[in-house]
Chains A and B, each alone.
Chain A
């Protein structure tokens, strides 16, 4: 395969401690290789990128881009698309629609266009996993994967109840095999089951789940322990109870405590960092400082933000009762979907307005997180696409983090009383390019346990994004000069050059095959499809990479 030289760029490769150093990069067979020792080696092509900024390809570790929920959102919202950016067909690329939930082909092209080369869907219901893979196959260029929803699964709750943690672990391992998933997701543990059974929700970690004598705390602990014991590359991915409710910071703190030192990733933490009383909006406030203190002093916790930006978007969640709550707040159309193999789904259109006290505070709380977590390796950039905003907002967020002035300008446009309800106005920190490279690539790759992503050392996947430095930081990050994915030039100045297909990441933890009988008989008794038709085989997955589990 061709040998490429990317010559003379200024590298930001935090994993390899390279912070703004001019260096050459050599690519062969989709990988970054050491610089050839012989001066005679002639590359097939040289990209002269002197004076340009070179980073690893971006990694989005939490977004919603595939599967039944996302597709229903597309269908639900034609009004979102008609006047939005159009993706026109070219000789080599498919057409598509955008709005807050782009079509699959558009999703792949837009991520690549932003310099993102890897993205993970954060909430696939186990029943929808085959559907999710079909969509991912039609999502070009980027590498991808998904986390499987488990926090309200009946088999898991039954086995917690009966004191059989080994079966919880085997079930999770089997589920990852069967679905071709990458990680284990917990959404509002127990709360979705209470919604299905009663129309209510759960509000405390020690409340009992209807039909099952277990608590959210027990569910979280059993799953996080199993994930830890299986040595999965990514820790349990947690959407805490009480999302969006004033005062929920206490639940979030309790969730972190409940992990008892085991690794855990708390996702879209912005939505879980609120003080105040649920019944009195005027008391709504930020509790980021105390939560960030906890993260700063505990190495077992990582977070992504779920930044809110002022725009029209679509709220979509595996948290069924949250969907109903948002529907009551918004009063607009609402989709709810309960599925066997137990997951939920709520979809509601939403508009975040800078005139709204609550929305402005949510925006500020997200930024507080970026600015108050001291070690950027613990925090990943996300908008929880499309919940807080579409992923297309990333360049604007980067500009807000690197430029305090820009934050102050926005602060002037929002209700001034938010300044008394959060610390944003007092935060002077400005991100460096190196820190941006950490929170948008190196840290998410590390948190995901993907050793070949998020860096530019030999052996890494040759996913490289090259920017032309500009005074306008947002513009700089919006249209990279070049994007390489797996060693191929996929984007040049915003135009797709190679519509490659990317691959899917899976994990296959070992488990006791004897336990399969119990899982099989539970499945046969309670679900409506055949056990043998549930499992997705390798031929169906298409291009995939199984990330090996390290048993050191």
Chain B
């Protein structure tokens, strides 16, 4: 494993870093130009407002590099303790990985493999459903550049890119000038399907308001119409959309040259999400009997896509993997972190760059207070109780190099701009892995 990194400037003079990648959302815009002075980003051009705030507000932190039971200590001491916990556990859980580099994710999988634990990522809820839909029916999709260059018809479904992925429209989709769509917006038809008229609606041709919890029925109705089957009229009441409107939409969709359904959290984070997503995959597949259509999710956080890829190439499965028997087994539900904790099936937790743990129930959180927890993170602690070991890392993309995967599974390099007193997650995990290997040999 190798990390290429241009040296971060030693001087306090103004330095300009072009082609910097922003990890603030899954768009991973890699065209930022950062001006750095006195180890602070003073300007971030090309960035959206959220990205700008992210870069300009990086604080120089003054916290201990590590804590054991809340008491300041050094990395080596804390790492010894962490290794002790991991090796003493019968069934340790590694969880998180969305807010770090691919390189760190690779080491996290290795450690879990050596200690025979369970590994799960933030994809296990929400985007994890994507994995299940792909396993059921496959997927017809494309890279963001193909949408830019070809998509003359775009449906944003349960998505609000204007708010959540601000540069998606201008860089990758609706507003972008494409190879075969030289006039950008004018050459495209765009529709929003959502439960409410969100900020993206004003950019659209029509907006279709769908009743909450009826995306599946809408997609299935569209599939029926494509196959020439008359849907039951009750779908009007269920979805809140007139059948004539749906028929008209389907006719338009059949006339597109290259259509794209870009779906967001409204699909992937709502009840029955895997079936929602499956229905969109099937609709897309069916549309290809008439013309070209693709679909892809639009929402993803940081490097969750990287975690998805790393777990898949090293274990064969994208999330919810147990190495407890000495080889990888996959079972969503059984090996996904939230349920595992509530059922009290793990006896230690290694929480790495988890981001906010919104998917965790009260029962999960309560159980975490009762087992040894090792937290490795560049941000604030996500835990109510004091973790047994806290390891503070530098921030990926700000201080540390590596690669990250964009929402369309394209690997991009990071160009760190600031110096940090902390080690990167990759460096800390590497130290842990080395120690684990030494200790297991001693055994």
Contact = CB atoms under 8 A, between A and B. Distances in A.
A387 interface: no
A196 B178 CA distance: 15
A128 B327 contact: no
Interface residues of B, number: 69
A483 B338 CA distance: 45
Most buried by B among A68, A78, A101, A527: A78
Given A134-B102, A541-B2, A95 B113 contact: yes
B20 to A, nearest CB: 9
Given A127-B143, A196-B150, A528-B144, A88 B316 contact: no
Contacts, number: 199
Given A97-B316, A103-B314, A529 B142 contact: no
Contacts of B403: 130, 134
B131 A339 contact: no
B328 A96 contact: yes
Contacts of A91: 440-441
Given A97-B327, A104-B314, A137-B2, A75 B134 contact: yes
A339 B142 contact: yes
Contact of A340 (B145, B315, B318): B145
A96 B315 CA distance: 5
B317 A78 contact: yes
A94 B411 contact: no
B309 A94 contact: no
Contacts of B441: 91
Interface string B71-86: 0000000000000000
Interface in A311-365: 324, 327, 333-341, 347-348
Given A103-B328, A334-B138, A75 B315 contact: no
A89 B292 contact: no
A339 B145 CA distance: 7
A25 to B, nearest CB: 33
Nearest to B317: A78
Contacts of A78: 135, 316-317, 330
A320 B288 CA distance: 12
A247 to B, nearest CB: 24
Contacts of A74: 312-313, 316-317
B315 A95 contact: yes
Interface string B293-327: 01000000000000011001111111000010011
B285 interface: yes
Say what secondary structure dominates the interface of chain B.
mixed
Interface stretch (A169-177, A265-273, A530-538): A530-538
A256 to B, nearest CB: 32
B258 A196 contact: yes
Given A97-B316, A134-B102, A528 B327 contact: no
B140 A336 contact: yes
Contacts of B316: 74, 78, 81, 96-97, 99, 101-103, 106
A347 B138 contact: yes
A335 B312 contact: no
A211 interface: yes
Given A134-B403, A138-B313, A196 B292 contact: yes
A325 to B, nearest CB: 12
Interface string A508-552: 000000000000000001111110110001111110000000000
Interface string B130-159: 010011111111111110111000000000
Contact of B327 (A86, A336, A348): A86
Contacts of A76: 134-135, 138
Interface string B230-265: 000000000000000000000000000110000000
Given A75-B135, A530-B30, A532-B19, A338 B294 contact: yes
A71 interface: yes
B146 A135 contact: no
A4 interface: no
A253 interface: no
Contacts of B114: 89
B18 A96 contact: no
A71 B410 contact: no
A469 interface: no
B96 interface: no
- In the A-B complex, the 5 residue pairs with the smallest Cβ-Cβ separation, listed nearest first, are A340-B145, A97-B316, A539-B4, A333-B138, A338-B142
Given A91-B440, A334-B285, A533-B413, 4 more contacts: A128-B410, A199-B290, A336-B141, A338-B143
24 contacts: A71-B312, A75-B131, A81-B330, A89-B323, A103-B312, A130-B411, A131-B405, A137-B1, A195-B292, A196-B258, A334-B138, A335-B140, A336-B138, A337-B139, A337-B143, A338-B141, A338-B150, A339-B143, A340-B146, A526-B178, A528-B148, A528-B172, A529-B410, A542-B2
